[in-house]
Chain A
Amino acid sequence: KAGVTQTPRYLIKTRGQQVTLSCSPISGHRSVSWYQQTPGQGLQFLFEYFSETQRNKGNFPGRFSGRQFSNSRSEMNVSTLELGDSALYLCASSLIPGSSYEQYFGPGTRLTVT
């Protein structure tokens, strides 16, 4: 079974631009979560989607948004990029939401904002 895939793997953008990151969950998994990983803040939860609905949202500004498609693939968008948005963005999928179901992480997208 293929793992969680994320595209692109690396991205360089300039301040003020916007970016879209993509996550394809493991086949059959319907829940997708996004996390931001930085050296200073560690791993921080962004949002979670299940059945095309956002179920949970972390403490991030409205510039961060996401969506999920009917095939469970998810995208996250960051508008008006700031230098502080440079980070590794991880997505994780699970069968359905709930602690009984393990979250499987993708390799991440490394975003650099210059």
Chain B
Amino acid sequence: AQRVTQPEKLLSVFKGAPVELKCNYSYSGSPELFWYVQYSRQRLQLLLRHISRESIKGFTADLNKGETSFHLKKPFAQEEDSAMYYCALKDTDKLIFGTGTRLQVFP
């Protein structure tokens, strides 16, 4: 069955530390993966998608088909990165979300 797993509910780091938010998926076929972010009191919004291979707000994510992972990384966390992060898999036009990881960046 198609599934997205985010093993960490909470990740706490200090400002300037590297961040890695883990995401593993289960999908039969060629996956299309996304990271969504929800800042406090704001809407869920797209952060990045793997097909774009882009860096947004310093975040990158590489699709590793061998490990079925799509971890989100940032070399130096900022306080404004504190938010809820969701990994999502597109399956026939619907999104399957992981349970999310709350990132807390302390000053």
| Contact stretch, chosen from A18-26, A62-70, A73-81, A95-103 | A95-103
| A89 at the binding interface (Cβ < 8 Å) | no
Bound CA span A33–B95, Å: 9
Bound CA span A85–B45, Å: 24
- What is the size, in residues, of chain B's interface with A at 8 Å between Cβ atoms? 18
| A58 at the binding interface (Cβ < 8 Å) | yes
Give the residues from 71 to 107 in chain B that come closer than 8 angstroms, CB to CB, to chain A: 86, 90, 92-100
Determine which of A3, A55, A104 lies in contact with B93 in the assembled complex, contact meaning CB atoms within 8 Å.
A55
Given the known inter-chain contacts A42-B100, A105-B43, please indicate yes or no for A33 contacting B86, CB distance below 8 A: no
Please give, as numbers and ranges, the residues of chain B lying within 8 Å of A97 by CB-CB distance. Answer: 93
- Inter-chain contact total with CB atoms closer than 8 Å: 48
- What is the size, in residues, of chain A's interface with B at 8 Å between Cβ atoms? 26
Contact A105 B97 (CB under 8 A): no
Contact A103 B99 (CB under 8 A): no
| B8 at the binding interface (Cβ < 8 Å) | no
Determine which of A31, A42, A107, A108 lies in contact with B99 in the assembled complex, contact meaning CB atoms within 8 Å.
A42
Given the known inter-chain contacts A42-B98, A42-B99, A99-B51, please indicate yes or no for A48 contacting B43, CB distance below 8 A: no
Please give, as numbers and ranges, the residues of chain A lying within 8 Å of B51 by CB-CB distance. Answer: 99
| B44 at the binding interface (Cβ < 8 Å) | yes
Residues of B with Cβ closer than 8 Å to A?
A: 32, 43-46, 49, 51, 86, 90, 92-100
New A-B contacts (19) at CB < 8 Å, excluding given A42-B98, A56-B92: A3-B43, A4-B43, A33-B94, A35-B95, A42-B100, A43-B95, A44-B97, A45-B94, A45-B96, A48-B93, A55-B93, A56-B94, A58-B94, A97-B93, A98-B93, A99-B32, A102-B46, A103-B46, A105-B43
Residues of A with Cβ closer than 8 Å to B?
A: 3-4, 31, 33, 35, 41-45, 48, 55-56, 58, 90, 92, 97-99, 102-108
